[in-house]
Each structure stands twice: as C-alpha cells, then as structure tokens.
Amino acid sequence: MNHKYLFVVGGVMSGVGKGTSSAALGLTLKSKGYKVTAIKIDPYVNVDAGTMNPVEHGEVFVTIDGDETDQDIGTYERYLDVDITKVNYMTTGRVYQSVIERERNLEYGGKCVEVVPDVPEEVIRRIKTAAEMAQAEITLIEVGGTVGEYQNILFLEAARMMRAESPDDVRFALVSYLPVPPSIGEMKTKPTQYAVRTLNSAGIQPDFVLGRSTLPMDKPRKEKIARFCSVPWDHIISAPDASSIYNIPRMFEDQDFAENVLKSFGLTVKQKDLAEWTAFTDRIAAAQQSVKIGVVGKYFSTGDFTLSDAYISVLEAIKHACAEVGVKPEIAWLNSEEYEKDASKLNELKDFDGVLIPGGFGSRGIEGKIKVIEYARKNKIPYLGLCYGMQCAVIEFARNELGLLGANTTEIDSATKNPVIHLLPGQEQNLCDSSYGGTLRLGSYPCKLTEGSTSREVYGSETISERHRHRYEFNNDYRKQLEDAGLVIAGVNPEKDLVEIVEVKDHPFFVGVQFHPEFQSRPLSPHPLFVGFVRAASS
C-alpha cells in the first residue's frame, strides 16, 4: 500500500485551531473516498498528557486502549468518526523513552546512538507504524507547537527526512495566523511570511498555507503570500473564524482544499459525500429553542482569562446531543468554588435547564460540587455527573439521604468514617510508589445495565462499553445501604462488580457515571446519555 503523509505545522502562534483545521481537512478527504488517519505529536517531554494540568494543557483525552492524549486526538475522532489508538500519539518523552529502551536492549548493535538521526528515525518509524495499522491511504500528522520553537525541531527534521526519502508521498501545510490589528484595520501577512521563512530554515517548503484569522483572506493578501512564500495561489486557504467549528469542512470544500491536496499527491476524487455532515450542520443552524446548561468545574482560570478547553469533549458532546434534539445550547461555565464561598449563589441554578459536573481531581471545589448536586437532586433539575461528578453524587446521597455524616472519598479524606468512594484494588501500591503516570484505570471496559433504569432506556441495549480514567471507585460495602435508601445502581462492570452508574428515582433525569461518555460522542452519532440529558433539560 502506498501511504501518503500530510504534515500540518503551525506558524505565528499556538491555539489557532491547527487540530480542528487538520480534522476538518481529514473529513473532507475521507468524504472523497480515502481512508484517513491522524497522528498528533506533542513536543513536551511528558510521556503522555495524563500528568499535565488541564488548565495548562487542556483536556486529557482517553483512547479506547487507555492512552492519555492531547485533546486533538478527540477532535480527530469526532471529525473522522474513527477510534484512534495509542500508536497515533507521541511526545518527545515517549520517543526518547523508546530510543533509550532500545539502546538498553542493545538494539543499536553497539553503535553510538545520536540525537540525529536516531531520534527522528524513531519518529518516522512511529508515523509509518500508525499509517500501516490504520491501513490509511492518507495520514495527517499534526506537529504541536509553532515553527521556530526549539522543542519541535526534531519532529520537523523527521518530516524533512521523510520528504527527502519519498518526495511524492509527503506534503506540508502551514496553519498560520493573520492578525487584523484594530489600530491598523487591515489584515497583515508579514508574520506568516516570517513563519514560512522559519520553516524554510528547517529545510521545509510548505505546499499549502492555511490562513487563520478573524476575517476571510482577500485577494491581495493571497497574492502576497503566494508571491513572497512561493506557494501556488490556489494552495492558500482562507480560514476565518466560523460560527460553528463544524462548518469548517464546508468552508474548505468551497475552496477545493481537499481536492487540491489529492491533486498534489497525484490522486483523484473517488466520490463526493458530505451529505450526512451537511445534514448535521443544518440541524445546528435550524435549532431555535435554547437549552441552558450549567457545567460546574474548576479548570477554567488562567490569570485573568477563562478557558473551557479542559472540558472540550463535554462541550462537543452537549452540542452533538443538542443538534439531535433540535435545540440550541447555551452553556455557562460555573466555578464550583463559588458555591463554597457563598451558598446563596446556589439559587442561580434554578435558571438552568440542566446541570453537568464533569471529571476532576483533588479537594479544590469538591464541597461546592456536592452542594450543587444536592440542589439539582432536590429541585429536580436534570443532572449528569461524569466520573468525579458521579462520585460526588454518591457522597451527596450518602450524607443527605442516608445521614452518613462526613461521608467522603478517600481521595479527599483518607480517614473518613464513611469512605463511600475508595481506592480501586491495586491502586494503594501506586500511591505508595508515587507511581502516578499512566496508572489510573484507563480505557474501555464493559458495563451491564440494570433493567428499568434511565440508562438502560436511553442506551437501548444491555451491555455497553465506555472509557475510563479514575483511581477511586464506589465502595461496595455501602451498596446495600445506599440502595435501600433509594439510590439506583444502574450499571455494573460484569467482571469486577464495580458500580459504574448511579441514578435517583422520581427525578426527570439524574444519572452519574464512573466513565467518560463524552469521549465517545460523535457529531453523527451523539452519545445516548447526553441525548437523554438534553432531552430532559429541554422538556
């Protein structure tokens, strides 16, 4: 099989949507009849994203095979509608770890192991393995960071080596940013020109330039970039801010981006099929009635700015469900710590149609979350709790319905008299050894649903498979008491008898799940739990 590779690199600044642009391009290539996969390279020394603070790095996305990756892998899964596995994610740490392991095993046959070419060669080996495993005709490789940064240079060197080795099979797209400074009132191309020159100094000439900006790129700007950067005019793509990220594929189609990428590889369009996707974006545009969802978390603030990147899959899953139900999401990011400082703030929750508490770690903000859950439960506001959001729901129920004073998770209070949430078997040792990286319960596990439960009804099947990322779990010693007090055990892992879903009765929708359904929601197959939640919230 002849694999084609398109490297996507960033210029000028980070955070301009390289991942989303690559994913949207991937979808349009797929719609033309090609098998596409995507690789994400993170230049960090961290072996995976699991040890990074979500405020700094955004969401930790979990793959079916339990890798803790960059959130862009989630973006690729959503656009390409495929499950992406470990082999498609690499970091500097991971690459070096393999090189060093190989050296320790004498696999370099006694030779001196060098940063160049041995490190880029390991990168190339990983890229080729991922393409092979996915049987991909086209592999998109997103190199994290921005050109000119010291830390991604070895990845660019790998890309350059691949192009030198097979010039017909490797292409480059630079996703750059074109500012429109208000004081000037004009779109400026100079930073992009510098970015191309910086890329040139790594031995790489971009074949495509994608210009992200607040506004569309006009003809004079395209001409400038074409002329000064030696990129064909029709290979310069305008990518202004979109009203919905799901409109980007259409925007690319209007400029024949995918078709020109295929042409540059010497490939032809095999089919054209964006109908289902277009129907999805039409549903988003047609929605009139809005539904107000409060997402209660804590990974929002960075200095004076509020970011919601830590919960990106949750946000997208809400959007998918809203498109399905035919409503417009109005999402508010609520900081759980605020409810600890001032309990009267809880009253603002009555303006919400639904409340969602996503995953989390540690003590900051947890009491606020528990208060929010009590309010949602008692005031019959639809509630969806994900992972920590489920554990907090169990704590709330134990304290307020069962009267178990001080009920807690041992993550917060290791000496609690009522550890309704406690460590998973085998996790004690990891904590003793300070072995935190990659040691949570990760990846997909089956769960059997209870007949008659809300979850059983919304899923419409008896056994499901969902992705996990946690170290603590429901304590089965309290199961009987909690059930007797009215807590519904709606889903259990059949092998280990772990409680995976709890619900309460006589409530429009109150579901807490130990797993992360948000990772499996796709635009064209919205997640049943989110659909059930949004439906309850909008009725």
Q: H helices of 37-168, where?
A: 54-57, 71-80, 92-104, 115-134, 153-165
C-beta of 224 vs 469, nearer to ligand GLN: 469
Residues in the chain: 539
Minimum distance between the CB of residue 363 and ligand GLN, rounded to whole angstroms?
Answer: 10
Residue with Cβ nearer ligand GLN (354 or 359): 359
Tokens of residue 447, six digits: 């769960």
Residues 6+ apart with CB under 8 A from 345: 338, 339
Q: Which is nearer to ligand GLN, 131 or 442 (CB)?
A: 442
Question: Cβ 425 to ligand GLN, closest distance in Å?
Answer: 13
Annotated catalytic residue: which of 235, 320, 470, 516? 516
The tokens describing 80, both together, are: 């390409």
In this complex, which beta carbon is closest to ligand GLN, that of residue 5 or of residue 388? Answer: 388
Tell which residue, 36, 40, 39, 41, has the closest CA to residue 3: 36
CB proximity list for 422: less than 8 A, separation 6 or greater:
409, 410, 472, 473, 475
For this structure, is 518 an active site residue? yes
Question: Is-cis flag, bond preceding 528, omega within 30?
Answer: no
In angstroms, give the least distance from the CB of 314 to ligand GLN.
Answer: 11
Cβ proximity to ligand GLN: between 146 and 409 the closer is 409
What is the DSSP code string of 75-100?
Answer: HHHHHHTS---GGGEEEHHHHHHHHH
Between helices 71-80 and 312-325, what is the axis angle to 10°?
20
Minimum distance of ligand GLN from residue 469's CB (angstroms): 5
**Closest separation in Å from C-beta 431 to ligand GLN:** 11
Q: What angle do CA 137, 142, 148 make, to 5 degrees?
A: 140
The contact set with ligand GLN (CB under 6 A) reads 359-361, 387-388, 391, 411, 469-472
Closer to ligand GLN at the Cβ: 388 or 530? 388
Q: Which two tokens stand for residue 504?
A: 């309460």
Rounded to a whole number of angstroms, the minimum distance from the CB of residue 468 to ligand GLN is 8
205 is written with which tokens? 């000439």
Catalytic residue among 122, 322, 518, 527: 518
Q: Which segments of 210-287 does DSSP mark as H helices, in order?
A: 219-229, 248-253, 257-264, 275-286
Token pair 């830390």: residue: 151
Q: Residue 373: which H helix or E strand, with range?
A: helix 366-378
Q: How far is the CB of 442 from ligand GLN (least distance, A)?
A: 10
Question: Is residue 527 among the annotated active site residues?
Answer: no
| Integer Cα distance of 262 and 257 in angstroms | 9
Residue 210 amino acid letter: L
Residue nearest to ligand GLN (CB): 359
Cβ proximity to ligand GLN, 263 vs 471, nearer residue: 471
Give the count of alpha carbons within 13 A of 223, CB side only.
Answer: 3
Q: Which is nearer to ligand GLN, 275 or 415 (CB)?
A: 415
Token output for 185: 């009132």
Minimum distance from CB of 59 to ligand GLN (Å)? 11
Name the pairing type of β-strands 138-143 and 4-10: parallel
Closer of 172 and 361 to ligand GLN (Cβ): 361
Report the distance separating Cα 314 and Cα 73, nearest Å. 14
The least distance separating ligand GLN from the CB of residue 99, rounded to whole angstroms, comes to 31
Catalytic annotation, pick one of 229, 387, 392, 447: 387
Is 322 labeled as catalytic in the residue annotation?
Answer: no
Closest CA to 345 of 355, 353, 335: 335
Tell which residue, 29, 25, 61, has the closest CA to residue 42. Answer: 61
Query: Catalytic residues, which ones?
Result: 387, 516, 518
